[in-house]
């Protein structure tokens, strides 16, 4: 995991230390990058199969990031070689009435990965320490309390066999401008544009501050945060695919032992 230390949040490595526009995988152009991504996507498929077959461990990939940071695109590209069978995607939007009537972790707990599963959360419980903080709906004490609840929740998950991988897709303000404009200009992308995105963009600095605070408070030994440079889409995909593969390789997954006595069975 040494290679990923530069993206891992800790007391000496914060959001502002990680440049969104870097190109850690310089493979000599688009074609080579796509080929390498495909190779990694295939390895991820093999590893996910093993996770499913071994049927004991669980993996949770949390994706956070500003609007247009590429959460959907990451899921599409990183999992392009994986069967939908073993991947469970949950997208968290503004909470419904039923969800608001419970604690903020309730709807997340309902969709944690089962044994053998890899769950991907497109936004997550971290939304509850972003919007309410920026909008001033909760104060400092309640925010700190939520960080604690989150850390305890993730401890529960890791203690019971889940590998939690948290990625914040980090784009620059200028890159977001380009991407939002593209959504407006391209009729095929129009439906992805929401006027609220402009309102949120106006509070860019407040959101970056809220991200910095939550990253510091919830990047634990057992569930660390990785800030992924995401201005360049292929680079972002390559980093996340490799991070996932590395974590899965480290789990040292094995096929289960065959049921004894089956060696000589003939089916008729």
> Is 99 or 212 the residue whose CB approaches a second copy more closely?
99
Binding segment toward a second copy, per CB under 8 A, in 142-150, 179-187, 222-230, 232-240: 179-187
The CA distance from 239 to 23, in Å, is: 10
Distance CA 69, CA 172 (A): 9
- Which helix or strand (DSSP H or E) is residue 159 part of? helix 140-159
Window 181-200: residues binding a second copy (CB under 8 A): 181, 184, 187-188, 190-195, 198
For 69, other C-beta atoms within 10 Å of its C-beta total: 23
User: Binding string, 116-155, against a second copy, x = CB under 8 A?
Assistant: ----x-x---------------------------------
For residue 120, what are the CA distances in angstroms to 127, 146, 170, 231?
Answer: 15, 22, 18, 21
* β partners of residue 162: 58
Nearest-approach distance from CB 227 to a second copy, in angstroms: 23
Q: Residue 259 interacts with a second copy (CB under 8 A)?
A: yes
Least distance to a second copy, CB of residue 120, Å = 7
CB 55 within 8 A of CB 255: no
* Smallest separation, CB 231 to a second copy (Å): 16
Q: Which of 19, 35, 83, 109 binds a second copy (CB under 8 A)?
A: 83
User: 71 or 166: whose CB is closer to a second copy?
Assistant: 71
DSSP per-residue letters across 46-107 = HHHHHHHHH-S-EEEEEEEESTTSSHHHHHHHHTTTS-GGGEEEEE--S--HHHHTS-TTHH
Structure token digits, residue 207: 């959101």
Q: Is 46 in the site for a second copy (CB under 8 A)?
A: no
Of 71-79, 131-139, 164-172, 227-235, the window that binds a second copy (rule: CB under 8 A) is 71-79
Integer CA distances (angstroms), 11 to 6, 14, 15, 73, 214, in order: 12, 7, 11, 30, 12
User: If binding is defined by CB under 8 A, does position 101 make contact with a second copy?
Assistant: no
Binding positions for a second copy, rule: CB under 8 A: 53-55, 72, 75-76, 79-85, 87-89, 91, 120, 122, 177, 180-181, 184, 187-188, 190-195, 198, 201, 255-256, 258-259, 262, 265-268
């Amino acid at each position: 995991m040494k290679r990923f230390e530069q993206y891992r949040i800790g007391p000496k490595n914060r959001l502002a230390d990680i440049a969104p526009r870097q190109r850690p995988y310089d493979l000599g152009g688009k074609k080579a990058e796509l080929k390498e991504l495909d190779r990694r996507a295939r390895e991820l498929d093999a590893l996910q199969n093993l996770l499913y077959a071994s049927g004991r461990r669980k993996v949770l990939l949390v994706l956070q990031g500003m609007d247009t940071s590429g959460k959907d695109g990451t899921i599409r590209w990183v999992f392009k070689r994986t069967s939908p069978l073993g991947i469970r995607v949950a997208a968290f939007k503004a909470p419904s009435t039923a969800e608001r009537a419970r604690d903020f972790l309730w709807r997340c707990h309902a969709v944690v990965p089962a044994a053998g599963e890899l769950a991907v959360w497109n936004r997550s419980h971290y939304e509850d320490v972003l919007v309410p903080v920026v909008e001033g709906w909760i104060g400092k004490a309640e925010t700190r309390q939520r960080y604690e609840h989150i850390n305890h929740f993730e401890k529960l998950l890791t203690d019971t066999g889940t590998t939690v991988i948290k990625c914040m897709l980090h784009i620059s303000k200028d890159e977001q401008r380009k991407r939002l404009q593209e959504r407006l200009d391209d009729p095929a992308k129009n439906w992805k544009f929401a006027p609220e995105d402009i309102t949120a963009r106006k509070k860019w600095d407040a959101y970056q501050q809220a991200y910095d605070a939550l990253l510091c408070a919830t990047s634990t030994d057992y569930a660390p945060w990785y800030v992924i440079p995401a201005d360049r889409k292929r680079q972002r995909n390559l980093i996340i695919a490799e991070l996932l593969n590395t974590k899965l390789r480290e789990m040292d997954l094995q096929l289960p032992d065959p049921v004894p006595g089956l060696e000589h069975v003939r089916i008729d």
